[in-house]
Each structure stands twice: as C-alpha cells, then as structure tokens.
C-alpha cells in the first residue's frame, strides 16, 4: 500500500465513494475532473460507525492522535486513523507509522481533503507510533496550511 492508496481509503470512508485521485487541479487553467466514481456499498450504520471512530481518534482523550491535535483549533473538522508496524530488518528493528484521514471543509461548498502521512524508521523524539510520528505532520499542515483550510 502506498500513501496515495491509503488516502483513497480515507476518501472512501469520508464520501461513501471510491474515487480515482485528482493529482493535478488544473492544466493550462482548465480544471481537471474525476471520471471514475463508484459507490462504496456499505450499510449506513457501518459508515456511521467508521466515521465516529475516526473522529474519536482525534477528539477523545483516549484517541491515538489526540495529543497530536490537542490545541489545534481545526481538529473538530478532522477524522483520522493511526497505524504502526514493528518491522524487523537486516539493520535491526524499526517502526513504520501511518496517519490517514480527511478534513471536512468549513463551508459546505468546499471539498473534503483526504490525506495520508507515512513515516518510516520512526524512533526517538518523533515517537514510534502513528499518533506520535505521523499524525503531528498532518496536524501542523492543517493548522498552518491555507489550502486545507477552505
């Protein structure tokens, strides 16, 4: 799985659709459009459960990304899922960490933005989990990145 694949997973949960990614917003001023869209055929109850769980990852004090988003004024718009893999390689053990999710727009006329952050060989001050190594990257982008704050 690549970060782009994982961002698509998050986008599917956010929209109930499987969408081909748009990698370029416009070419020579002409806006690009998504052509391949399929409905994600999961029960409404299942989708609500997934979305609520991904909200609690950030908003609950027991959430794995809570500390990364604590104090972020935009955290109420963010949904996420952390992940950590303990990898044993020829150079010893290390951690591969993930944080995927999406940000809801402030105005309903704007688009949701899906994201994925992956940190390989995480350790030391950065931490060794998705919540301590990968999630803070997204939190900082959401707090300071204008393109994510429409």
At 29-54, the pLDDT tens digits run 888 776 778 898 999 999 999 999 99
Q: Which residue has the tokens 């899906």?
A: 114
- So where are the chain's domains? 3-20+35-148
Give yes or no for residue 138 having a pLDDT over 90.
yes
- Residue with more model confidence, 95 or 20: 95
First to last CA, the chain: 29
E strand or H helix at 7 = helix 3-15
Give yes or no for residue 148 having a pLDDT over 70.
no
122-137: average pLDDT: 83
Give yes or no for residue 124 having a pLDDT over 70.
no
E strand or H helix at 13 = helix 3-15
Tokens of 13: 């949960």
- Residue with more model confidence, 149 or 108: 108
pLDDT score of 25: 73
Q: pTM for the whole thing? A: 0.84
pLDDT score of 146: 66
- Of 124, 65, 131, the closest CA to residue 97 belongs to 131
Which homologous superfamily does the CATH classification assign to the domain defined by 3-20+35-148?
Answer: DD-peptidase/beta-lactamase superfamily (3.40.710.10)
Give yes or no for residue 118 having a pLDDT over 90.
yes
- Residue with more model confidence, 43 or 149: 43
Q: Is the dihedral of CA 17, 100, 63, 110 positive or negative?
A: negative
Give yes or no for residue 79 having a pLDDT over 70.
yes
């Amino acid at each position: 799985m690549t970060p782009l694949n994982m961002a698509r997973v998050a986008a599917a949960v956010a929209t109930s659709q499987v969408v081909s990614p748009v990698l370029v917003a416009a070419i020579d001023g002409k806006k690009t459009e998504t052509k391949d869209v399929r409905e994600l055929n999961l029960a409404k109850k299942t989708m609500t459960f997934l979305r609520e769980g991904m909200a609690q990852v950030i908003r609950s004090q027991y959430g794995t990304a809570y500390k990364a988003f604590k104090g972020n004024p935009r955290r109420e718009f963010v949904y996420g899922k952390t992940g950590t893999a303990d990898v044993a390689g020829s150079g010893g053990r290390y951690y591969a960490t993930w944080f995927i999710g999406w940000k809801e727009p402030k105005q309903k006329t704007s688009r949701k933005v899906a994201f994925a952050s992956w940190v390989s060989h995480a350790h030391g001050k950065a931490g060794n989990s998705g919540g301590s190594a990968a999630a803070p990257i997204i939190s900082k982008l959401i707090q300071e990145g204008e393109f994510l704050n429409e």
